[in-house]
Structure 1
Amino acid sequence: MINFSIKFQSGVPIYEQIIYAVKKAIVSEQLRPGDTFPSVRELSKDLRINPNTAQKVIAHLVREKLLIIKPGIGSVVSELKEATDLQRKEILDTEIEKLVVEAKRLLINKKEVIDAVKSHWNLDNEE
Structure 2
Amino acid sequence: MLPFSLQLKDGFPVSEQILSAVRKAVLTGQLKEGDLFPSVRSLSQELTISPTTAHKVVSQLKSAGYLVARPGIGMVVGVPDLPNKSERINLLSPACQDLLAQAQELGLDLDDVLTALRNNHRKSS
* Same fold flag (TM > 0.5): yes
Aligned ranges 1:1-127 → 2 under 5 Å: 1-82=1-82, 88=84, 91=87, 95=90, 108-109=109-110, 112-113=113-114, 116=117
Cα shift at 1:76: 0.8
RMSD: 3.2
- CA distance change for structure 1 residues 90 and 29 in 2, over 3 Å: closer, same or farther? closer
- CA distance change for structure 1 residues 82 and 91 in 2, over 3 Å: closer, same or farther? closer
- CA distance change for structure 1 residues 14 and 27 in 2, over 3 Å: closer, same or farther? same
Q: Which deviations, in whole Å up to 9, do the C-alpha atoms of 1:33-73 show, x marking residues without a partner?
A: 00010010110111111100100110111121111111221
SS in 1 for 2:41: helix
Name stretches of at least 5 consecutive residues in structure 1 with no aligned partner.
none
Q: Which deviations, in whole Å up to 9, do the C-alpha atoms of 1:53-101 show, x marking residues without a partner?
A: 1001101111211111112211111134356xxxx256368x39x79xx
Percent sequence identity over aligned pairs: 35
Name stretches of at least 5 consecutive residues in structure 2 with no aligned partner.
none
- CA distance change for structure 1 residues 118 and 7 in 2, over 3 Å: closer, same or farther? farther
How high is the TM-score relative to the length of structure 2?
A: 0.69
Aligned length: 113
Q: 1:34·1:76 contact (CA, 8 Å) conserved in 2?
A: yes
In 2, the alpha carbon distance for the partners of 1:26 and 1:117 equals 27
How high is the TM-score relative to the length of structure 1?
A: 0.68
Letter of the 1:22 partner, please give it.
V
